[in-house]
Amino acid sequence: MIEIIDAIVLASAAFFGLFHFRKSGILFRLLTLYLLYTLISEVVSFYSSKIFHNNSLVQKIYLFVEIIFISGIYYLLFRYSRKRRIIIVLAAFLFLFCFFYFILDKQAILPGYPLTLESIMLIIFSVMYFYQLLKYPYEHDLLSMGEFWLNSSVLVYSTGSFVFWVTFHYLYSHHIVLPGLPVIMNALDILHYFLLGLAIFFHVKRKSLIMHKDAFG
Partner 1 sequence: MPSDNDLFIVIAGLIIFFVLIGMSITLFVLFYYRRRKSYLRENELLKANFDKLLLHSRLEIQEQIFNSISGEIHDNVGQMLSVAKVQLNILSEKREYDSEVVAGIKDSINQVIQDLRHIAKGLNAENIQLSSLPEIVQRETERINRVGFLQASFIVEGTESEMGKDQKLILFRIVQESLQNILKHANAHLVKIVFFYHPDKIRINIIDDGKGFDFEKVINTNKGIGLKNILHRAKQIGGIAKVTSMPEKGTIITIDAPYGN
Is the distance from CB of 30 to CB of 75 less than 8 angstroms? no
Interaction of residue 169 with partner 1, rule CB under 8 A: no
- One of 171, 209, 210, 211 touching partner 1 (CB under 8 A): 171
- One of 37, 78, 95, 130 touching partner 1 (CB under 8 A): 130
Task: Determine the Cα–Cα distance for residues 125 and 137; give it in Å rounded to an integer.
Answer: 18
- One of 163, 186, 194, 207 touching partner 1 (CB under 8 A): 163
Half-sphere exposure of 112 (CA within 13 A, CB side): 17
Interaction of residue 155 with partner 1, rule CB under 8 A: yes
- Cβ nearer to partner 1, comparing 4 with 134: 134
Contacts with partner 1 by CB under 8 A: the residue count is 21
Interaction of residue 137 with partner 1, rule CB under 8 A: yes
Please state the φ and ψ torsions of residue 14, each to the nearest 5 degrees.
-65, -45
Stretch touching partner 1 by CB under 8 A, among 31-39, 50-58, 86-94, 160-168: 160-168
Task: Determine the Cα–Cα distance for residues 184 and 68; give it in Å rounded to an integer.
Answer: 26
Task: Determine the Cα–Cα distance for residues 171 and 168; give it in Å rounded to an integer.
Answer: 5
Task: Determine the Cα–Cα distance for residues 56 and 108; give it in Å rounded to an integer.
Answer: 8
Name the residues that contact partner 1, by CB under 8 A. 130, 133-134, 137, 139-140, 142-143, 152, 155-156, 159-160, 163, 167, 171, 176-178, 181, 184
